[in-house]
């Protein structure tokens, strides 16, 4: 890997980059690198996919009925059950 040193310097930017949250000057630098480094391009693409998978497989915020009932009782909120 001829760009190995440079790749390591840029790794920390990938997460902000996939969020669209990377400052413009770093974006330009990173995109120039991605155009010529296939490995980093793969890492960025699969990182973006990972973030997507986390979002779509996220479980809903639910409380099982029995847990909810015990919670309300413990808080003396039975009347609101």
Q: Which residues bind other proteins (CB under 8 A)?
A: 1, 4, 11-12, 14-16, 39, 42-43, 45-51, 53-65, 67-68, 70-72, 74-75, 77, 79-80
How far does CA 76 lie from the centroid of its chain?
39
Query: Considering the complex, what minimum distance in angstroms separates the CB of residue 27 from other proteins?
Result: 15
Specify the residue for token string 């009932």. Answer: 69
What is the smallest separation between the CB atom of 29 and other proteins, expressed in angstroms? 17
Residue 67 burial by CB count (10 A; 0-12/13-18/19+): exposed, middle or buried? exposed
> What single DSSP character describes residue 11?
G
Query: For residues 32 and 42, which CB has a smaller minimum distance to other proteins in the complex?
Result: 42
């Amino acid at each position: 890997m001829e760009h190995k040193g440079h790749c390591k310097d840029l790794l920390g930017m990938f997460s902000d980059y996939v969020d669209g949250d990377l400052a413009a000057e770093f974006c330009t630098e990173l995109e120039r690198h991605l155009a010529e480094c296939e490995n980093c391009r793969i890492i960025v693409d699969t990182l973006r996919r990972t973030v997507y998978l986390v979002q779509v497989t996220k479980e809903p915020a639910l409380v099982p009925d029995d847990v909810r009932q015990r919670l309300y009782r413990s808080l003396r909120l039975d009347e609101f059950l």
